[in-house]
Amino acid sequence: MVAIKNRYDFVYLFDVRNGNPNGDPDNGNMPRIEPQTQKGLVTDVALKRKVRNYVDLMKGGQPPYAIYMRERAILNNLHREAYKALGLQPDTKGKKLPKEEAQARAITRWMCDNFFDIRAFGAVMTTEVNAGQVRGPIQMTFAESIDPIVPQEISITRSSVTNERDMEKERTMGRKHILPYALYRSHGFISASLAGDETKDTGFSEEDLALFFEALRSMFDHDRSAARGQMSACKLIVFKHGNHLGNARAQDLFDRVKVEKKEGVVYPRSFSDYIVQIDRDGLPDGVEVDELL
């Protein structure tokens, strides 16, 4: 697989209806909220988790699309697989990579070659069994809601009990938090310089890039739960640069994408209540814009 040669920046819009897109465990699992603007937040970690889950589902967890950061994974065991595949022994005392630079690079290269999320997002693998560390070419910002959010707290009950002694107890189990509706916007950056090639950096390829964009378009359809309600990908706008360094500042490109409520809409309840406009006039030389969703 050939590593990507172009820089990309993208705007990603998704929404939630009657659900909690990303609960805050430090605040009773309420939807995350920015205290000053009252706008909702979804962490980059939550979005990357959904990408990982989608790739794992589509590719069956097999190399070269295995997932490194997966639930209940024992990372040291994964690192040992790299050493075993290359006929090397890990340093059990100093917890260091092999002294020979070629061997050290080979360990990290093996991890990149076999795990999609390491190629995409990077990883710090300097644990007891040291496999090095790499910076991933893809970074995403926290997603922020277009408008302030108003979480609602809903009582939930159940009709059954666990033990006979609980038969006469109140059936109320607790409470859950939902948003009637919210549209979120996240920005992403894909660096060809950090993708490199198959001998250095992560080797993030054109095939990997296509799979990543596919995940952004479809991952919510395979991540349903009662807590998250109805979440949907709404828009994916990609700016492709003509070279690996880029032809314009990312922020200047993001400013060309405007998301506003339609005239007369006070309380949006669907994506159709918004207008998304892309300023295509006078794009910097070497920059292309494409709507992948």
Q: What is the pLDDT of residues 78-102, one digit of tens each?
A: 999 999 999 999 987 878 999 999 9
pLDDT tens, position by position, 142-152: 999 999 999 99
Q: Nearest 5°: CA angle at 185, between 180 and 191?
A: 150
Domain count, the chain: 1
Residue 27 is predicted with a pLDDT of: 87
Residue 78 is predicted with a pLDDT of: 95
CA distances to 12, 60, 115, 180, 240 from 53, rounded to whole Å, are 18, 10, 13, 26, 26
Is pLDDT at 199 greater than 60 in this prediction?
no
Is pLDDT at 165 greater than 80 in this prediction?
no
**209: number of Cβ within 10 Å:** 21
Model pTM? 0.92
1 lies in a domain? Answer: no
Residue 50 is predicted with a pLDDT of: 97
Residue 39 is predicted with a pLDDT of: 97
pLDDT tens, position by position, 7-57: 999 999 999 999 999 999 988 889 999 999 999 999 999 999 999 999 999
For the chain, give the mean pLDDT.
Answer: 92
Residue 126 is predicted with a pLDDT of: 92
Split at pLDDT 50, 70, 90, the class of 220 is very high
262 lies in a domain? Answer: yes
The distance between the two most distant Cα atoms of the chain, rounded to a whole number of Å, is: 74
**200: number of Cβ within 10 Å:** 14
Give backbone dihedrals phi and psi of 128, rounded to 5 degrees, phi first: -60, -35
Beta strands in 129-171 (DSSP E): 130-135, 138-140, 143-148, 152-157
CB-based contact 143:41 (threshold 8 Å): yes
Give the structural domain span for 55.
8-291
Amino acid letter, residue 34: E
Mean pLDDT computed over 179-193:
97
CA distances to 9, 31, 174, 264, 275 from 260, rounded to whole Å, are 21, 22, 36, 11, 5
Residue 201 is predicted with a pLDDT of: 78
pLDDT tens, position by position, 115-135: 999 999 999 999 999 999 999
* Better-scored residue on pLDDT, 157 or 235: 235
Residue 143 is predicted with a pLDDT of: 98
91 lies in a domain? Answer: yes
